[in-house]
Structures are given as C-alpha cells and as structure tokens.
Amino acid sequence: MICLLIEVDGRSREIDLPADPAERDDMLAALTGGDFALRETIDRGLDLWMGIGQHDSPANAPASALAADLSGESWRHYHGPVVVCGVELSEAGEEHAVDLTGDQLAALRWRLGRHGAD
C-alpha cells in the first residue's frame, strides 16, 4: 500500500506498507517511532498515522500544518514522523486502507511545499 512518510523536518517519501494488517501495524509503529500507531482522519480519503508512546519526539510542524490545512482544524499538532495513507469506504460503510494515487501524492507534496517543506 503506497503511503507518504513525512519526517519532522518536512522531508517526505513514498513508502510501500505491507498488505497484511498486523505487519502494516508493526511497520507503522516503527516508522512513526511509537509503541503503536494511531490513525486520525485528516480529509475525506486521507488518514494520518502517528506514533503513540514516545513522549520525547520533536514537533512535526509540516505535518501539523498539512493536517490543519486539510481538516480546517488548527488545533491539530503532531510529533515525530507521520504517515499519510489513503482510505475508502466499502458499500457496507467499512473503511479500507488503499494506495495513495499519484494525484493525491502530488497534492500532498504541493501542500507540504506551501508550509516550507520539501
């Protein structure tokens, strides 16, 4: 599953997460520097995963600005690396993680650039 990793200094890169949910959860925790990763919806079709359990992680101003920009909620503040993934609803209303599209990746990078990253 293609997602976007955003480092605390604003650098970003595409990552390919495993399809297996347990492996994906382990990788998200490792990438975000947490004991586990917690998901927040930041826009329709976009989830942001942050590490939980590491209290000394530096602020991630670019990711915080991106999430506030997309969600319209300026109170969002994140620490440490974060991962942005695609999500869609099934006909039954269940959320499923999906690849970010090329357009989504480009739009996310453009927005990060507006906030002084990349």
- pLDDT reported for residue 69: 92
Residue 107 neighbours by CB under 8 Å, 6+ apart: none
Domain boundaries, the chain: 2-114
Single pTM value for the model: 0.92
Q: pLDDT tens across 51-79, in order? A: 998 668 899 999 999 999 999 888 888 99
